[in-house]
Structure 1
Amino acid sequence: MFAENTGGIVALYTRAAPDRQSQYLAWSTDSGLSFTEYAQNPVLDLQLSSFRDPQVFFHAPTQRWIMCVALSRAHQIAFFGSPNLLQWTELSRFGPSGITGVDYECPNLVEVPIEGGKTAWVLFVSINPGAPQGGSATQYFVGTFDGSRFVPESDTVEFVDFAKDFYALQFFTNVPSGNPVSIGWLNNWQYCQETPANSWRGVMSLPRRVSLAPDTTQRLKLIQQPEDLTALRGTASDVTPPSRMEAGSSWETPLPASGAHEVRISAEIDAQPAGLPPGDKGRSGRFVLNFLNSNEETLSIGFDAFTAQLWLDRGKLKGFSHPFFTNSFSAALTPDQRKITLHIVLDKCSVEVFVNNGQQTGSALLFPAPRWTGCA
């Protein structure tokens, strides 16, 4: 494939015919500018019509390449091993498990660091259609992988994102920071072909650095935070919000005239303010951040301390209407939680919200008419 003492790029990919999906191999010796197809393709063919999306990595303990690939309509992820990327032997299968939907797609098996020093294996499986919010979504399973078989620690379904527009994530590994970095398609198959854009369809998410941490029940949960955004930042605005706000009060600040905004907020909410009888929840105990524009459109992100739920509401935007373009989404946080941190990246057509240092993330497409002018 490559001359002695040289290297290059090897691509393993799915080629689809009307009644067959198979895995093919090609290589490049010019940094990906051109590729040569392997003469004896396909390298893996089960003679199936729904067999796609290979992810390949080298497993050092067993000194072989591992491919995980979706048997989409069977709702299984198959694992294969190879010493040379050309001959593949089936090792095991996972599933059906979790929410199956109609198709399994885009599997990724990744060794993810746990806060504190250890690691665990995480299998990411995308489904479409059939996600709880509608359309497409990505679920994940935490478990062990011995080089042949993946075993989840639990059958509980966990989703990568609590909103509706994050799908088919893929991973960069062996990155300088050490943690795997994911990137997803910021869209949903229910309306991706009808969004108001002429020369493009949707965008990719911010790269996310992933890790694992135990929750209050000691189950490992996914932590996602934006990879270093330093190179993308402009001049920071000098915004100093009040250190304390009374229930029912508000505060507004203009946003700079740019296409994208990054907002960081840390707040502690009084769930039982003075003056209310015991047990009377009233209308307090909530924190709401509204992004505004001159067309009276509003993007709302808020937290209710009584229910420990965060919400994202795009229902007051006027740039796109579709039966499946769901208005609002919510995520349950730790019960009795009164403190919340939000890291929000708002772009011209999208928002990504990272809650409590990445314990929850919400990603949504947005189609406001004019640009954002302020937040309150």
Structure 2
Amino acid sequence: MMIRLAICSFLLVLLIGTSDRQVNVYEDSVAVWTFDGLDDGVGVNSRLTNHGNVSIVPLEGDEASLSKQRGGAGSAAYFGGTSWLDAGQGAQEELNLSGKEITLYVRARATAVDGYSPILTKAGDDHNLAYSIVLNRVDGAVYIEAKIGSDEIAGAHLLRYLLPKTEWNAWQDIIFRFNGKTSQLYVNGKLRDDEVTVGQIRDWNRRPMLIGAEYKKEYGYADVDKDALKATFKGFIDIVALWDKFLPDPCIVQLSQVDELADGRPAYYTEKHRPQFHFTAKKNWLNDPNGLVYYDGVYHLFFQYMPPHRPGAYKDWGHAVSKDLVHWEQISSHITPHKVWSGCWSGSAIVDADNVAGFQTGKDKTLIAFITNGGNPGRGLGPLNTQCIAYSTDGGNTFTYYDQNPVLKHIKAENRDPKVVWDEASQQWIMALFMDDPDEFGLFGSTDLKEWSHLSSLSVKGVRECPGFAPLPLDGDPKNKKWLFFGANGDYVIGNFDGKNFKPETEVLRGDYGTNYYAAMTWSNMPDDRCVSIAWMPTQRYPGMPFEQQMSFPTEITLRTTADEGLKAFRYPIQEIRHLYEKTTTLKNETIKGKQRLKMLDGERYDMEFEFDVRRSTSFELVLRDVTVSYNAKTQSLACGGPAMRNGIIVDDWVAQTAGEMNDQNNLGQALLRPINGKINLRILLDHNTVEVFGNGGEAVISSCFMPGKPANTYDIRSEGQLSVIKAEIHSLKSIWTAAN
């Protein structure tokens, strides 16, 4: 590092101290243009072609000095929004950057940004793009954006920085670099964005490199003319340089003319609509939980992760880890799509404790992830929907694709979502797989996790995708186990499994009555034999946030025999939520007539448990900030509603909420809940924009998201008739996000 710094500094001193540009920091770049003309300053002479009269203008005063300090010529190219430059492929095709390391540097000042304004671009749209740096105006905001196309993943990786309005027309030192694992965007010496980016830069597109323009058409090898291009950049470009290496930090410091590099990324996890004890990705889209596994003191949560400008099928398995199932840290060791097998769809993971697959190389047991690789035969990206494995021999830090994939070839349609579990009775691994026929799933068996044979098929009416399959003790008796089979919507059946066939003993039962619960999965290799699950809570209720979607809070699943309905699955918050308890409020033996304000509550996050005697109350409501949990004793109906809406505006009054003004915004679910000896128990988890209601110990669950209204935190109990609060225990909760995240 110090040697590189000395080299960069020495070269820069030579440059500043001489009037002729003979020695400079760009001597190992593949091309550099400093716009004292159109020649390439490296000496290869990838001379630019001028289209539409780009003018070369001298800079004056401080602008000229700052240009020369960075190795410029004190002059710049001026673009008026209709002109551009092209460099072709380079004199020796050196502009077709390839490999796992590149760096791009642009020094530019826009005079206006009216929309998408490309500064530097190679190729066309996201599906064949190699690299680009642009200014982009979206909804009144201006972003600096850098994109790279990887040869392993369709689409592009987008990094972006929201430019302060005071800097829209200022000079910007923009540096993008990529090392085969991650990509980084620096603006004026500050790291503004980064992303997990694997593979090599896409080098198979033959369109010329452009400065100040982009191609109109998405595909093909268009000519460099005004009919094929759109030139929209307005302003000055001082320097453009490209390297086929990951430029080291000291050189980034020198080019940016700062004392040291700084972390200027956004302060994630404190945003206005960020859930504070439900997992969300730091940024971008997530959906199904994947690969849930415990190993060596660490809980692993993988999830479907979608960076922007990626086609929908080409998702990563994002990765987060926890020591307690509550506090999560997202880490960079994603499982990314393999260029042969295409996108990483949903799946599961296990610990190969006995090394039956033979992958173990050291003391760590092997973690094996079972992934549906979507495939796209029409585009040469592998066969359609095969089941592949990736394994980790270092505790989940890195994963390697099995070189004999797939372990289960395509069967039919989009068969997908393998859930693998150990069956002690038959001494084999069992894979449950959705067959993409209405309600149909397949069961497969293996003893080495690599060779799988079909055991049987089953149909679960009304259930599709993301199967869960697990043996659980009935009523806590480890000698009497039943098998639970559930699908993406949470609906389930309970029955017996003989090592080949699953025979349900129940009808299909409802697993969750809320509006935001899908694709649940359970952890494997749990240290205490609990069955713990987490689900995706699909919603579009987070406007203006860097993240999209969230997970439910982890719950423990148990099987119990009920007096009225026989076998049922109960789901209840895991006990580790106690790690978040902050302040506790209790009520005992209180009678509510009409309305009573819970004045002691003024926060946003709570774990609440109430026990009510409802024999003398026809109905009651818990008004919890923006949501209302209600119970009708006559119909034995538990319901949850969000803020009442009238003409698209939140109406914050009880009359509106009880007047039946139900719509997509405030109907958050309802379930039958029978009193037990005239009493009901409600456990409620309330986050900034999430409510999860567990009736009678988790017999009925409602999981939903809502959009918060006014910031006032109002908590009431309202009753028709006399409602007896036998006891209530309410805990305010700390945020799970720490400075380390």
Alignment TM class, shorter chain as reference: 0.7 to 0.9
Q: Which runs of 5+ in 1 are unaligned?
A: 127-136, 272-283, 293-297
Amino acid in the other structure paired with 1:54: P
Q: CA deviation at 1:30?
A: 1.6
Superposed, which structure 2 residues align to 1:153-172 within 5 Å? Answer: 153-154=505-506, 156-172=507-523
Residue 105 of structure 1 aligns with which residue?
Answer: 465
Amino acid in the other structure paired with 2:671: A
More helix by share: 2
Which of these two proteins has the greater Rg computed from alpha carbons? 2
Query: Structure 1 pair 197/84, CA: closer, same or farther in 2 (3 Å)?
Result: farther
Residue 231 of structure 1 aligns with which residue?
Answer: 579
Residue 564 of structure 2 aligns with which residue?
Answer: 217
Query: Structure 1 pair 254/62, CA: closer, same or farther in 2 (3 Å)?
Result: same
Q: Which runs of 5+ in 2 are unaligned?
A: 1-358, 378-383, 651-661, 717-741
Do the aligned partners of 1:13 and 1:25 also contact (CA within 8 Å) in 2?
yes
> Does structure 1 residue 285 correspond to structure 2 residue 630?
no
The alignment covers a number of residue pairs equal to 336
- Name which of 23, 27, 34 aligns with 2:398: 34
Amino acid in the other structure paired with 2:536: W
Residue 205 of structure 1 aligns with which residue?
Answer: 552
Deviations 1:149-206 (A, max 9, x none): 111113x22111111111110001443443201111122xxxx356525211221111
Q: CA deviation at 1:208?
A: 0.7
Q: CA deviation at 1:257?
A: 4.9
Q: CA deviation at 1:334?
A: 2.2
Do the aligned partners of 2:432 and 2:468 also contact (CA within 8 Å) in 1?
yes
Residue 180 of structure 1 aligns with which residue?
Answer: 531
Secondary structure of the structure 2 residue equivalent to 1:73: coil
> Does structure 1 residue 13 correspond to structure 2 residue 364?
no
> Does structure 1 residue 303 correspond to structure 2 residue 631?
yes
Superposed, which structure 2 residues align to 1:138-153 within 5 Å? Answer: 138-153=490-505
Query: Structure 1 pair 197/332, CA: closer, same or farther in 2 (3 Å)?
Result: farther
Query: Structure 1 pair 310/144, CA: closer, same or farther in 2 (3 Å)?
Result: same
Do the aligned partners of 2:370 and 2:387 also contact (CA within 8 Å) in 1?
yes
Deviations 1:268-307 (A, max 9, x none): 1234xxxxxxxxxxxx511211123xxxxx4111111111
Secondary structure of the structure 2 residue equivalent to 1:230: helix
Secondary structure of the structure 2 residue equivalent to 1:222: strand
Query: Structure 1 pair 291/94, CA: closer, same or farther in 2 (3 Å)?
Result: same
> Does structure 1 residue 120 correspond to structure 2 residue 482?
yes
Amino acid in the other structure paired with 1:24: C
Residue 131 of structure 1 aligns with which residue?
Answer: none
Deviations 1:108-134 (A, max 9, x none): 1011222251321010112xxxxxxxx
Do the aligned partners of 1:174 and 1:180 also contact (CA within 8 Å) in 2?
no
Over the residues paired in the alignment, what is the CA RMSD in angstroms?
2.5
Amino acid in the other structure paired with 1:139: D
Q: CA deviation at 1:240?
A: 3.4
Do the aligned partners of 1:349 and 1:368 also contact (CA within 8 Å) in 2?
yes
Whole-Å separation in 1 of the counterparts to 2:627 and 2:664: 18
Do the aligned partners of 1:10 and 1:27 also contact (CA within 8 Å) in 2?
yes
Q: CA deviation at 1:47?
A: 4.3
Whole-Å separation in 2 of the counterparts to 1:355 and 1:259: 21
Secondary structure of the structure 1 residue equivalent to 2:425: helix
Q: CA deviation at 1:357?
A: 1.3
Amino acid in the other structure paired with 2:417: D
Q: CA deviation at 1:328?
A: 4.2
- Relative to the length of structure 2, the TM-score reads 0.43
Whole-Å separation in 2 of the counterparts to 1:219 and 1:179: 22
Query: Structure 1 pair 351/232, CA: closer, same or farther in 2 (3 Å)?
Result: same
Do the aligned partners of 2:439 and 2:461 also contact (CA within 8 Å) in 1?
no
Q: CA deviation at 1:65?
A: 1.2
Residue 416 of structure 2 aligns with which residue?
Answer: 52
Amino acid in the other structure paired with 1:332: L
Whole-Å separation in 2 of the counterparts to 1:262 and 1:34: 36
Do the aligned partners of 1:255 and 1:374 also contact (CA within 8 Å) in 2?
no
- Relative to the length of structure 1, the TM-score reads 0.82
Query: Structure 1 pair 285/323, CA: closer, same or farther in 2 (3 Å)?
Result: closer
Secondary structure of the structure 1 residue equivalent to 2:595: coil
Q: CA deviation at 1:48?
A: 3.0
Amino acid in the other structure paired with 1:167: Y
Residue 84 of structure 1 aligns with which residue?
Answer: 448
Do the aligned partners of 1:125 and 1:140 also contact (CA within 8 Å) in 2?
yes
Percent identity over paired residues: 27
Residue 345 of structure 1 aligns with which residue?
Answer: 685
Superposed, which structure 2 residues align to 1:334-373 within 5 Å? Answer: 334=674, 338-371=678-711, 373=713
Query: Structure 1 pair 83/22, CA: closer, same or farther in 2 (3 Å)?
Result: same
Query: Structure 1 pair 177/152, CA: closer, same or farther in 2 (3 Å)?
Result: same
Residue 312 of structure 1 aligns with which residue?
Answer: 640
Deviations 1:17-54 (A, max 9, x none): 23611100111112222111111111101343311110
Deviations 1:59-92 (A, max 9, x none): 1222211111111234311111111111110000
Query: Structure 1 pair 34/177, CA: closer, same or farther in 2 (3 Å)?
Result: closer
Do the aligned partners of 1:308 and 1:337 also contact (CA within 8 Å) in 2?
no
Amino acid in the other structure paired with 2:615: D
